[in-house]
Amino acid sequence: MFKNLFSKSEPIKNLSPKEFEAGFKGNKNAVILDVRTVGEYSQGYIPNSINIDIMSPKFMTEVEKFDKSKEFYIYCRSGSRSYQACAQMLRAGFTTVYNLDGGIMDWRGEVKR
């Protein structure tokens, strides 16, 4: 849906909720990144996720602190903002980023409140 907004050379991988969970479960190299607002995050989030609001002017400053060799599993409410975050991170030199297709709205795994 959002693929045409960005360069076709960006290897953003959209994962189904099952693929997304299978990718980070037990993976010591995985970072789960929630790019929603603090208010959205407080309503429920995937356990062990880190919240950095993509709409914040400090988003990339905070993201740049991460080890770029890690695998990033990124989600938002519907998959749009997380796709944008994936694109920004790839342009910044991150190599492995995954977008949760459908966002937390389609997530059927555990949610902490």
- Continuous segment of H or E residues that includes residue 34: strand 30-34
Q: Would residue 86 show up in a list of annotated catalytic residues for this protein?
A: no
Distance CA 67, CA 108 (A): 29
Q: What does the alpha-carbon distance between residue 39 and residue 76 come to, in Å, rounded to a whole number?
A: 12
Strand (E) positions, the chain? 13-15, 30-34, 50-51, 71-75, 96-100
Indicate which residue of 74, 76, 97, 100 is catalytic: 76
- Buried b / exposed e along 95-111 (16+ C-beta atoms within 10 A): ebbbbbbbbbeebeeee
Please list the active-site residues: 76
